[in-house]
Structure formats: C-alpha cells, structure tokens
Amino acid sequence: MIFPLNVYLIAFAAALLTTWLTSPLWRKEFLRVGLVDDPGERKIHHTPVPLSGGFAVMTGIAVPIISAAVFIFFTSPDAKSFALLRYGLEKRGLELAAIFLGAIGMLFLGWIDDKHELSAKKKFAGQFFIALLVAAAGVRITLFVPNILFSYAITILWILTVTNAFNFMDNMNGLCTGVGLIGAWYFGLSAAAAGQYLVAIIAFVTSGALLGFLPQNFPRASAFLGDAGSHLVGFLLAVLAILPHFYTPQNQRSFAVLRPLLILAVPLADLVWVVILRWRMGKPFYVGDNNHFSHQLVRRGFNPRRAVLAIWLVAALLGWLALL
C-alpha cells in the first residue's frame, strides 16, 4: 500500500511547531546560563547570541517521535498506516534506538565543545565513538562490497565527514540550518517515493524541526545552532543518507547510490575546498577561517543574506537533480 501523505505532513508540521514554540524557551535559558557566542574577529554579530539552536531542534525532533511511538504501542490504533509504523519500529528498533542515542550524543558533544572548547583530538574521538556505536547497531554502508570491516570503515568515515562538513558550514546566519533543511527534505521525498516510510518520516521530522528554528537564525540571528546544533544536523543528514535502500529490485541502477552525494554536494564540496586550501597554506584543517564558499561570495560583492540564499539555491537544484 502507498503510505498516507497526511502522516508525512503531520510529522513535518508537528516538528516545525514544536521547535518554533520551544526555541524562545531554550534561547532564554541559554542567555540565563551565559552559554552564548560572543562577538569576535571573524564574526559579524555585535552582541552575544545564545547557542540554543541545537537543543531547540532536538526538542522538535524528539517530542513528535516519542509521542507517536508511545501512541502507537500503547493505544493499538487500527489504521493500516499505524500498523505499518509499529511493524517498522519493531523491525528496526535497535537501529532507531542507536540513531536516537547517537543524535543525543552528538548534541551533547557539541554542547561540551560550545562550553569548554574541546581540542580537535577530543572532539574527533567523541565523533568516532558515536559513529562506531551506530555502525555496530547495523546502520552501515556496504557499496556492494561483502566485507564487514570495509562496511564499518566506510560508514564511520562517512558519518565523520558529513558531521564535520555541516560543522564547518555553520559560518553564516541560516546557512547550516537551511542546507540541512533542504537535504533532509530531499531525503524525505526520495524515501517516500520508494515506499520507505520510516526513513521518510525521520527525514520530514528533521526538515520540519529545522524550518521551525530558521526564523530565529535567518536573516538576523537571535540564536545560533552552535556546535551542538551543527553536530546534530550533520549526524542526522549522514544517517539519512545511509538508511534508505537506493538500490532496490525496482531500481537496479547501481549509480542510484550516488544520490546522497548530490543531495549533500554543497557541504561536502565546501569541506573539501577549505581543507585543501588550509593544507596548501600550511594551516591545520580544523582551524576556522574566512575561506568558505559563503565568505568567497561575500568577497565577490554579495551581502551575507544573498550569499546564503545563493548557496541554498544551489543545494536545492542539486537535490532536485538527485531525484531525477
């Protein structure tokens, strides 16, 4: 059966509304405890901005999903769509639990970094441990290579790469939030079209939560994602690229597995660009600078708002191309 469209819409709307309603509460709390991003040399804001976005987005994701799971398992609704969801939750329960714990782990790793400025080695070690746990739970890439060690290695590398790509891209108001929103939306459309309803719901919930936070983050930011938020967004987008079965009996084109690379082309290309540039300049690749795509556009005459909109447009066009 075709999964009901209204369930996807409800998931998206619930995440959007939850994030939108709770964002001011998280912002107020972060201001109270002083967890803010202060003005600095490479920053355009002139007053402290709370780093509350990650917790607002996580709330928008967790509340609808947990509420739906409780409703499905404890009320036993008769609708076929709920029966499918219950079956999916039971079949992929371990993987989903690992993803949820991994998301919380990335959120708190970023939060600790926001608070104490972790060294690159400690942050990388935390990311690696979370990626390993997710891979051990069965969320893995194979790329048609029947080797478990290869599967673990490529999965961990992918999660680390995408997580850090979004972490690096969080350098201008709304940029990381918008690119994550677009990527999650396209993963949702792709999974829904293939009948992979559980993956689609996770993607639409992620997209809705990011859209709910966006008004606080763009064009003027009253709150930032922070490392907590960029870690969370990057991790979720990495996982959303792994969960779907792009190569199926109905779609036996091997190159379909390249679809995630198109959907995530913008953050991945930005990561590659700055890493190569820093290497050529003799600088550590993890030390921030003003050489990202967004900064390059500003130096070519764009204002920050138009630079972000231009990058969103490129991400949207590449995602649309991926669906073709």
CA atoms within a 13 Å half-sphere pointing along the CA-CB vector of 10: 10
- Output phi, psi for 142, to 5 deg: -115, -40
**296 compared with 243, residue with greater pLDDT:** 296
Q: With CA atoms as reference, report the closest residue to 293 among 319, 279, 317, 272.
A: 272
- What whole-number distance in Å separates Cα of residue 60 and Cα of residue 236? 13
What is the SS3 assignment for 58? Answer: helix
- What whole-number distance in Å separates Cα of residue 2 and Cα of residue 193? 9
According to DSSP, residue 42 is labeled T
Q: For residue 18, how many other CB atoms are within 10 A of its CB?
A: 23
Mean pLDDT of 239-256: 65
In a domain, 138, yes or no: yes
Buried b (16+ CB within 10 A) or exposed e, 80-106: eebebbeebbeebeebbebbeebbebb
In a domain, 312, yes or no: no
| pLDDT score, position 248 | 46
Q: With CA atoms as reference, report the closest residue to 124 among 106, 142, 136.
A: 106
- What whole-number distance in Å separates Cα of residue 65 and Cα of residue 304? 35
| pLDDT score, position 186 | 96
- For the cut 90, the answer to whether the pLDDT of residue 36 exceeds it is yes
- For the cut 70, the answer to whether the pLDDT of residue 145 exceeds it is yes
**84 compared with 308, residue with greater pLDDT:** 308
Rounded to 5 degrees, what angle do the CA atoms 192, 142, 263 make?
Answer: 45
CB 170 within 8 A of CB 294: no
In a domain, 111, yes or no: yes
**129 compared with 78, residue with greater pLDDT:** 129
Position 38 confidence tier, pLDDT thresholds 50, 70, 90: confident
Domain count, the chain: 1
User: Which H or E element spans position 36?
Assistant: strand 36-37
Q: What is the pTM of this model?
A: 0.92
Provide DSSP, 275-313. Answer: HHHHHHTT--TTS--S-SHHHHHHHTT--HHHHHHHHHH
In a domain, 310, yes or no: no
- Per residue in 179-229, pLDDT (tens digit) is 999 999 999 999 998 888 889 999 999 999 999 999 999 999 999 999 999
Q: With CA atoms as reference, report the closest residue to 139 among 103, 94, 104.
A: 94
**163 compared with 142, residue with greater pLDDT:** 163
Mean pLDDT of all residues belonging to the chain = 90
Position 247 confidence tier, pLDDT thresholds 50, 70, 90: very low
In a domain, 37, yes or no: yes
Residue type (1 letter), 19: T
In a domain, 168, yes or no: yes
Q: Which domain holds residue 223?
A: 5-249
Instruction: Report, in angstroms and rounded to the nearest whole number, the Rg of the chain calculated over CA atoms.
Output: 19
- Structure tokens, 253: 């084109």
The mean-pLDDT minimum among 43-47, 59-63, 84-88 falls in 43-47
CB 4 within 8 A of CB 33: no
CB 203 within 8 A of CB 240: yes
In a domain, 90, yes or no: yes
Percentage of the chain beyond pLDDT 90 is: 72
CA 152 to chain centre: 21
Rounded to 5 degrees, what angle do the CA atoms 222, 120, 168 make?
Answer: 45
In a domain, 228, yes or no: yes
Mean pLDDT of 232-253: 76
| pLDDT score, position 79 | 65
Mean pLDDT of 125-154: 92
Which residues contact residue 111 at a Cβ distance below 8 angstroms, ignoring those fewer than 6 apart?
54, 55, 226, 227, 228
Torsional sign, CA 229, 315, 219, 270: positive
CB 3 within 8 A of CB 195: yes
